[in-house]
Amino acid sequence: MKQFKTESKKLLDLMINSIYTNKEIFLRELISNASDALDKLSFESLTQKDVNVEGELAVRLAFDKDARTISVSDNGIGMTEAELDKNLGTIAHSGSEQFKEENSDHQGEDVDIIGQFGVGFYSSFMVADKVRVVSRAYGEDVAHAWESDGVKGYTIEEVAADQLPEDLSGEGAHGTVITLYLRPSTDEDDTDQYLSEWKLRELVKQYSNYVRYPVQMMVQKSRELPKPEDAGDDYKPQYESYEELETINSMTPIWKKRSSDVEQKDYNEFYKSTFHEWSDPARTVSFHAEGALSYDALLFIPSEAPFDLYSKDYEKGLALYTSNVLIQERCADLLPDYYNFVRGIVDSPDVTLNISRETLQQNSQLRAIARRVEKKIHSELESMRDNDREAYEKFFDNFGRGLKFGIYSSYGSKASDLADLLLFWSARKQKMVTLKEYAAAMADGQDKVYYAAGDDRERLSKMPIVKTALDHGYDVLLCTQDVDEFMFQFMRSYHVDAVAGDSENKGTDARDVEFANVSAADLDLATDEEKKEAEEASEKNKDLFEQMAKDLGDKVSSVKVAAQLGDAPARISSEGPVSLEMERVLEQGPDAGKAPKAQRVLELNAAHPVFGKLVAAKDAGDENRLKLYGDILYNQALLVEGMPIDDPVEFAREVSELM
Ligand SMILES: Nc1ncnc2c1ncn2[C@@H]1O[C@H](COP(=O)(O)OP(=O)(O)OP(=O)(O)O)[C@@H](O)[C@H]1O
């Protein structure tokens, strides 16, 4: 008996003890896997000379009331002994480590976990207490059986020729037969229901209707017998029952249908079964092209982010079919990186079958399709943003970071396409706003888009400089993602369209407004009078600032007076291209240590009583005290900015000394 890998074991435990109410989806999972296996074989047969498929590729369902079993069979690619071990002994997901972590504090919340990960084959154990998989890989003479009760582990053994299920026994047969031994039926868990033609038929219609291969079942039918010639007047029609293999799904590729002919619930089921997703998509987009290049496309914007979206294992791409044959499961060239979350299918008879990875880039047909795909996604997102803001905010929460990366990694060249899809937290409105909305609410004379960057929205909103800006009537976008500031640097400015005036508003010309970090040293918020006061204080206290800058050494590039600090005694700002937040982000990156640093400036509030203390210490020639004050002000300003301080122990000592 072999043991399951640890993470598989956890998942299995969840399945076995599942309180998940939607257990019937196990059938969808098994049929999807069967259909994938048929896809693989059909692809091989078209691309490799020595692979030939005889007969119809199909999925078969059967049930046995007495034995209390259901079976799902396919004549697809099958699995070798090693593949059975690898594929069914370990969960397929690369995120298993993450699974373990996230799972540790979610005891009992299996619904979430099932929803988040999709568990494929293992979902059988929600309804079965024993599962037997007999598989014969294409081209192999022998078949192997994998068997497990989910708890103790699993066995794999060769199946003797005379023990083979009928579907796998003929010369050159191939495929997989999965038999579920159903758990006993209980009040809560009616497993008996699956032992009926009617129920299985209903489940196929509901979940697997658009699977491209026939899903067949031997069904009981009855027909009227011919009336005997010598039948008398009192003859009553006679019937006989017989069995017939019936295809129970519709099979039409759903992406070839006009969207007006398909119900959303069918798209949803198709999406879930094809992409192994557990929630309905947020949006469905279907479109068709005819002419020199014809194709059908069906795209989905997911409602949940896959758990590995931001990991290097995540593969973007659309499924690429040519005349109904899957040639690539994830054709990356059909999607730009910033729309990597989109799932879907493109089917074109004009794309050649032997298209290889290398030639995809050079293929002008694919490029044309990719351009249209991008446009469609874009307009779908715009429509969501304008017509269903709540859904869009959820979308943005899941995938917005990728859009920002799109601008950043294109060095800003994608900004004109993507800028209006972005959302930011407005400190004034206390909600997410677009840049357009920000621009429309800009104060008279405001010529910049102000933002504050840090890792915590709450703290950003409490920063004195943010309050000052708000008091001046300038809204501030509170940015908490690492990429934000880097993106702004590449975007530089946002183009504001002209607004026509009317009787109430005077209208504005088109213009470009720059992005400015409110913490940047040259923020021009003070009134002329305040500036004058600050200048005078600077002039008068030159020596004081020089002394403080000397004491702080290379921690700061200068110390000066700032005009507008509200009720804060001091703050840290930065000069030059690297802001404090960017420094923090860079420190966490791969070049930490070598990354450029922000040039820090200690700004003092000349109107604050503390400033008087500094001047007094200087006048009294008390150098030690001045250094102590300087250190404390510097460190507390860092804390307010959410930055770490170099030496907390020393800071604590200095505060105590002061007290
Ligand atoms: N009927 C089948 N024929 C051939 N291989 C199969 C069959 N069923 C499952 N497999 C193999 O077992 C693997 C694991 O299946 P499982 O359903 O657990 O995960 P998956 O289909 O890869 O992904 P998901 O968890 O998203 O459903 C599959 O990737 C496939 O390689």
ipTM: 0.97
Taking all residues of the chain, what is their mean pLDDT, rounded to a whole number?
86
Mean pLDDT of 265-270: 92
CA of 304 to the centre of ligand 1 (A): 22
**Calculated CA dihedral for residues 178, 181, 183, 187, nearest 10 degrees:** 80
Does ligand 1 come within 6 angstroms of the Cβ of 276?
A: yes
- Residue with CA at minimum distance from ligand 1 atom 14: 87
Which domains can be identified in the chain, with CATH numbers? Answer: 8-220 (3.30.565.10), 254-371 (3.30.230.80), 399-517 (3.40.50.11260), 528-658 (1.20.120.790)
Helix (H) or strand (E) holding 258: none
Hey, which of 57, 121, 315 would you mutate to test ligand 1's pocket, going by the most ligand atoms within 8 Å of its Cβ? 121
- What pLDDT is attached to residue 355? 54
DSSP 259: G
Atom of ligand 1 nearest to the CA of 91: 18
Rounded Cα distance between 18 and 1, Å, is 24
Q: Is the pLDDT of residue 406 over 50?
A: yes
Nearest C-alpha to atom 20 of ligand 1 is from which residue?
120
The ligand 1 atom nearest the CA atom of 76: 3
- Structure token pair of residue 535: 């200048």
Q: Place 97 in a pLDDT band, splitting at 50, 70 and 90.
A: very low
By the 10 Å C-beta count (0-12 exposed, 13-18 middle, 19+ buried), 307 is classed as middle
Model confidence at 604: pLDDT above 70 = yes
Element (H, E) at 562: strand 558-562
pLDDT over 70 (residue 272): yes
Residue 103: both structure tokens together: 């799972």
Residue 33 beta carbon below 6 angstroms from any ligand 1 atom: yes
DSSP element (H, E) containing 29: helix 25-47
Residue 18 near ligand 1, beta carbon < 6 Å: no
Number of the ligand 1 atom closest to the C-alpha atom of 34: 1
Would the CA dihedral through 246, 249, 250, 253 be positive or negative? negative
Read off the pLDDT of residues 417-432 as tens digits, 9 standing for 90 and up. 999 999 999 999 999 9
- Is the CB–ligand 1 distance for residue 176 below 6 Å? yes
Report how far ligand 1's centroid is from the alpha carbon of 59 (Å): 15
118 Cβ below 6 A of ligand 1: yes
Return the closest-CA partner of residue 131 out of 158, 156, 153, 150: 150
**One-letter-per-residue 3-state SS of 429-473:** CCEEECHHHHHHCCCCCCCEEEEEECCCHHHHHHCHHHHHHHHCC
Q: How far apart are CA 296 and CA 585, in angstroms?
A: 43
Alpha carbon of 127 to those of 121, 157, 358: distances in Å?
12, 24, 45
The model's pLDDT over 300-341, given as tens digits with 9 standing for 90+, comes to: 999 999 878 878 888 999 998 877 667 778 889 899 999 999
Q: How confident is the model at residue 523 (pLDDT cuts 50, 70, 90)?
A: low
What whole-number distance in Å separates Cα of residue 426 and Cα of residue 476?
Answer: 6
Which residue minimizes the CA distance to atom 28 of ligand 1? 87
**537-543: which pairs have CB atoms within 8 A and are 24 or more residues apart?**
537/561, 537/606, 537/611, 541/606, 541/615, 541/618, 543/618
43 phi and psi angles, rounded to 5 deg = -65, -45
Query: CB under 8 Å to 100, separation ≥6 — which residues?
Result: 6, 7, 10
* Share of residues in the chain with pLDDT > 90 (%): 47
Confidence at residue 587, expressed as pLDDT on a 0 to 100 scale:
78
Residue 227 has pLDDT above 50, yes or no: yes
Please state, in angstroms and rounded to a whole number, the distance separating the CA atoms of residues 106 and 311: 22
The average pLDDT across 471-488 equals 92
pLDDT, average across residues 577-591: 78
**Residue of 39, 86, 87 with the most ligand 1 atoms within 8 Å of its CB, for mutation:** 87
Our mutation pick for probing the ligand 1 site, out of 29, 33, 330, counting the most ligand atoms within 8 A of Cβ, is: 33
Residue 32 Cα, ligand 1 centroid: separation in angstroms?
8
* φ, ψ at 544 (rounded to 5°): -60, -50
Instruction: Specify the residue with its C-alpha closest to ligand 1, atom 9.
Output: 33
Query: What is the pLDDT at residue 218?
Result: 93
Strand order in the sheet with 476-479: 431-433, 424-426, 476-479, 448-453, 511-517, 493-496
Q: Supply the residue whose CA is at minimum distance from atom 26 of ligand 1.
A: 276
Check pocket membership of 90 for ligand 1, CB cut-off 6 A: no
What would the mean pLDDT of 79-102 be, rounded to a whole number?
69
Using CA atoms, how far residue 81 sits from 12, 37, 146, 148, in Å, is 21, 16, 9, 15
pLDDT at 110 over 50: no
CB 431 within 8 A of CB 424: no
CA of 297 to the centre of ligand 1 (A): 25
pLDDT for 100 beyond 60: no
**Residue 116 near ligand 1, beta carbon < 6 Å:** no
| CA-proximal residue: ligand 1, atom 31 (nearest) | 87
CA of 122 to the centre of ligand 1 (A): 9
Coil, strand, or helix at residue 367? Answer: helix
Q: What is the pLDDT of residue 91?
A: 60
Single pTM value for the model: 0.69
Predicted local confidence at residue 139, as pLDDT: 94
Q: Work out which ligand 1 atom sits closest to the CA atom of 178.
A: 1
Cα 13 to the chain's mean position, in Å?
26
- State in Å: Cα 87 to ligand 1 middle: 7
β partners of residue 63: 70
What does the pLDDT read at residue 115? 43
Q: Decide: 299 and 376 in contact? Cβ < 8 Å.
A: yes
Question: 400 CB under 6 A from ligand 1?
Answer: no
Whether residue 72 is predicted with pLDDT greater than 90 in this model: the reply is yes
pLDDT of residue 589: 74
CA 224 to chain centre: 57
Which atom of ligand 1 lies at the shortest distance from residue 77's CA? Answer: 4
β-partners of residue 226 are: none
Which distant-in-sequence residues (6+ apart) come within 8 Å of 235 by Cβ?
A: 227, 228
The pLDDT score that the predictor gives to residue 340 is: 96
Find the helix packing angle between 542-552 and 528-540, rounded to 10°. Answer: 70
Residue-level pLDDT at 188: 85
The Cα-based distances of 228 to 225, 231, 232, 238, 242 in angstroms read 9, 5, 9, 10, 19
